[in-house]
Amino acid sequence: MSQHLPPNHPPVPQQKIGVLLLNLGTPDATDYWSVRRYLKEFLSDPRVIETNKLLWWPILNLVILSFRPQKSGHAYAQIWDKRTNESPLRVITREQTENLAQRLEGEGIVVDYAMRYGNPSTQSVLEKMQAAGCQRILLVPLYPQYSATTTATANDKAFDALKQMRWQPAVRTAPAYSDSPDYIKALGDSIRDGVAALDFEPDLVVTSYHGMPVDYLQKGDPYHCQCYKTTRLVRDYLGWPKEKLMVTFQSRFGPTEWLQPYTDKTLEELPGKGIKKVAILAPAFHSDCIETLEEIDIGVRESFLEAGGEKFAYIPCLNASQGGMDFVESMVRRELAGWL
């Protein structure tokens, strides 16, 4: 092909296939301004906050961004990876990317990752992949259950970047995988292994999902139903009775009614009901982050023990575990069918 190019034509890269793992995002540091920049981008997303912009703008910029960055920065500081000076989410997502790249090595595939909010930005990574010769790119939002606030907005950001490209690559989007048999197996095995490794037998295992306003559910978001389906399928896979595995929802924000039962309130009430030994996990996240490592493993743990609980264990997300990466590889290979 290069023999037919006109003189001084820029080099033409070899055609490749790209796989882009998409995650939520993270501030670059724990200081006020770094966290503020991240929160402003996150909370300005109309997919996340559906309140009228004219009402939301002064609340966000004059109230929330004046005080919230200090609180969030303190929370991030408690879990910050001091070895790499990064948030655990970025460290884990990079590990997942490197692991998948090794599994796909030699097949002409470029694997990378990007964040919906913060760095590395979706636009910068897509531009890098396109410049490297990726003319076909698979977008893989790492959200097991579909929501407009997660899967949809991650894809939106990628489409925004594509709109600015003169020579767009062909793009596919991997679907959410809340009921994928391979995912249920990976999640179920991680729960079984996590419980088996404990020095106590939990009275109850809690699956805590990130919450959302009830209004979003009423508008047609399938997230709530998919959360319950994931837990039901995992319970069936494990062969556990219904009362052994419970669904709750965490991370509510503002005065609006959110999906219930609330994780924090539920855990505070359990000791009074005689349930004093619990294990908890967060199946809405594929990678551990502030909502799991700080909100659950620190905050909810303290609340449960203060309420009279005796034993508390957090079971990590799939992260870059063997089972978790086996699932990601199988999903990616399935979605690349016809391209490889």
Closest of 91, 170, 176 to residue 126, by C-alpha: 170
Q: How far apart are CA 278 and CA 300, in angstroms?
A: 11
- Which amino acid does the sequence have at 203? D
- Which residues of the chain does CATH 3.40.50.1400 include? 16-176+323-335, 181-314
Q: Whole-model pTM?
A: 0.93
Query: Binding site for Fe(2+): what residues are annotated?
Result: 210, 291
322-335 and 181-196 helices cross at what angle (nearest 10)? 180
pLDDT of residue 177: 98
Does the domain spanning 181-314 belong to CATH 3.40.50.1400? yes
Mean pLDDT by 10 residues, the chain (340 residues): 64 85 97 97 95 93 95 97 97 98 95 98 97 96 98 98 95 98 98 98 98 97 98 98 97 92 98 98 98 98 98 98 98 96
Q: Which residues pair with 173 in a beta bridge?
A: 139
Please state, as a whole number, how many other Cβ atoms lie within 10 Å of the Cβ of residue 216. 21
Query: Binding site: what residues are annotated?
Result: 210, 291
Q: Tokens standing for 195?
A: 């419980």
Q: How far apart are CA 53 and CA 44, in angstroms?
A: 9
Say if residues 264 and 303 touch (Cβ distance below 8 Å).
Answer: yes
Which of the following CATH numbers is that of domain 16-176+323-335: 3.40.50.1400, 3.40.50.2000, 3.30.360.10, 3.30.70.260? Answer: 3.40.50.1400
Give exposure, 143-166, as e/b (b: 16+ Cβ within 10 Å). bbbbbbbbbbbbbbbbeebbeeee
Q: Tokens standing for 123?
A: 């636009």
